Structure 1
Amino acid sequence: MAGVLDAVFAPGFFDSDPVRTALLAGAVVAVVSGAVGVITVLRGQSFAGHALSALGTLGGSAAFLVGLTPLWGFLTSGFVVAGAMELVGAQRQRGRDVATGLVLSTALGLSALLIYFETIVNSTTGVTITILFGSLFALSGITVPAMVLLGAVCLAVVALLYRPLLLSSVSSELAAARGIPVRALGLAFLLLLALSAALSSVAVGTILSTALLIGPAATALRLTRRPARAMALAGAIGVLSTWIGVVLAYDSYRWPPTGKGWPVSFFVVAVVFTLYLLADLGSRIRAARARHRGGSALTARSLATVR
């Protein structure tokens, strides 16, 4: 048994403070992403999540430049962008797509400029990797307590708005007819999405945070159509993916190039993608079997009619 554990967990894994911090922060991010991600998929706002994550690059790089932790930059830029997205929400879809593309490219250009200034002014190394690919093993100070508090607030608001969010996701007209302020609810959800994107950006970076936000949710919805159950399942899938990613990233220090280690974000996203493929394959197999049983029953009824 000890030999198996030694093969899976590199020496010092359970005694490492950065590992314990990474496991805690990763679990918080995964649970929040699972709850918000399911509603995001149901509302068809996956692209909004991608935009908020990508634009977080600007906030994260600006925060680094003024000496703040990237989390606050991700949050600030996310809330500003969420408000702007809601302001243009009534415009034509094509116009929104063009505007979003222009804003994304401009923001990424500004992010590159700020990262460049940070590098030459403060001689800081690793800024680009931290912002784009996350830093679960490098979290310190008040970042983790702040993530726990923000995650709890996000989950509480999701629970409070759960029913009106689901109704407006199914039919905004029906929700409005029942007196639900659809526009205000949409803004509230975009702010929740911005918060979730900020937390996932800390874990796996702005480039890959959409995968942690959408991947477990999409996988869960392949396995169940009940939103509440899908949220719980998405959170569990996210936690499993994050913890496996942490284990593999820690073990990778023994892999070539020795002593360097592979990024934890790569492993997390790889596990999320693998689980989605398995869930999709299982869904297709079940659908094929259901069609086969339906065809067999129809054939039997036809033969009975002929007789």
Structure 2
Amino acid sequence: MWNFWMLLENSGFFASGPVRTALIVGTCAALVSAVIGVFTILRGNAFAGHALADVSSAGGAASFLLGINPLLGFLGMAWIAAFGMEFLGVRKVRERDLATGIVLGAGLGLSALFLYLDVTTTSTTGAAVSVMFGSMFAIPQSLIGPALMASAGVFLLVGLLYRPMMLTAVDPDLAAARGIPLRWIGLLQLLALGLAVAVCALAIGAVL
């Protein structure tokens, strides 16, 4: 094992800027997915997580169209979708999934529109592939800082709200009896999930 790492180091593998960037952003994506994924499963929000990833593609496509930071595009649309899912939805899983489906349909429509405009009105090449499938080795080094900040935001939210998030996920009736605001905790959990989705979208795209 040691010889393997020595071989990588001597070959200059880690001296490559794109490799270091991919390693940092990929590590951030893996860590935030592991942390927020626990609460996503416990709350029965797997469909919401999938939907946020797909809807965020509209933000990524819009960022190429407007020439802004793609992380901001992914994050902005994911947060808009999170607000929509939480305030359209209710506590019952079936009805919450219905609200998620409505937001997902609208987001995919916007994504298709923005990707079409990217292709037809701008000179940006590979925008659709970058948004939908990502490219770890094409991530600009300037996005390392924002990706680290977004990851820190996930850890901060989960760290501060661990107990109420866990209680609302395991026993929402008991949480309500104790005066925990279920809707706001649910919204904050979705916002943390949106942060994680934005970081992951940089590395592996909105679809994957």
TM-score in same-fold range (> 0.5): yes
CA distance in 1, matches of 2:156, 2:71: 20
Q: 1:6 to 1:120 in 2, by over 3 A?
A: farther
1:302 corresponds to:
none
The residue type equivalent to 2:46 in the other structure is S
Pairing 1:164–2:130 present? no
- How big is each residue's C-alpha offset from its partner over 1:251-284, in whole Å with a ceiling of 9 and x where there is no partner? xxxxxxxxxxxxxxxxxxxxxxxxxxxxxxxxxx
In structure 2, what is the Cα distance between the partners aligned to 1:2 and 1:173? 53
In the alignment, is residue 89 of structure 1 matched against residue 89 of structure 2?
Answer: yes
CA distance in 2, matches of 1:3, 1:182: 52
**TM-score, normalised relative to structure 1:** 0.62
Using the size of structure 2 for normalisation, the TM-score is: 0.89
Task: Report which structure shows greater RCO (CA 8 Å, sep ≥6).
Answer: 2
| Aligned equivalent of 1:203 | 203
Shift, 1:107, TM fit: 2.5
Report which of the two structures shows the higher radius of gyration computed on alpha carbons: 1
TM-superposition CA deviations, 1:158-213 (whole Å, max 9, x none): 011011111111101101112211111111111111111111111111111xxxxx
Residue 146 of structure 1 and its aligned partner are, at CA, apart by 0.8
Q: CA deviation at 1:103?
A: 3.8
1:50 aligns with 2:50: yes
Q: Which residue of 2 aligns with 1:15?
A: 15
Show structure 2 runs of 5+ residues with no match.
Answer: none
Q: Secondary structure at the match of 1:14?
A: helix
Deviation at 1:86, TM superposition (A): 0.9
2:63 is matched with: 63
Q: Aligned partners of 1:7 and 1:153: how far apart in 2?
A: 36
AA aligned to 1:125 is: T
**What letter corresponds to residue 126 of structure 1 in structure 2?**
G
Question: Distance between the aligned counterparts of 2:174 and 2:75, measured in 1?
Answer: 32
Distance (Å, rounded) in 2 between the aligned partners of 1:114 and 1:90: 30
Give yes or no for contact 2:153–2:195 (8 Å, CA) kept in 1.
no
How far does residue 4 in structure 1 lie from its aligned partner after superposition? Answer: 5.4
Alignment of 1:127-138 (within 5 A): 127-138=127-138
Q: Distance in 2 between matches of 1:59 and 1:125?
A: 17
- For residues 89 and 96 of structure 1, what CA distance do their matches in structure 2 show? 4
CA RMSD of superposed structures (Å): 2.4
Q: Sequence identity, in percent?
A: 45
Deviation of 1:113 (Å) = 2.3
Change (3 A) 1:90 1:99: closer
Q: Which runs of 5+ in 1 are unaligned?
A: 209-307
Aligned partner of 2:195: which letter? L
- The reply to whether residue 104 of structure 1 matches residue 104 of structure 2 is yes
Distance 2:91 2:2 in 1: 61
Are residue 25 (structure 1) and residue 25 (structure 2) matched? yes
Q: How many residues align?
A: 208
Aligned equivalents of 1:98 and 1:175: distance in 2? 24
The structural deviation recorded for 1:55 is 0.3
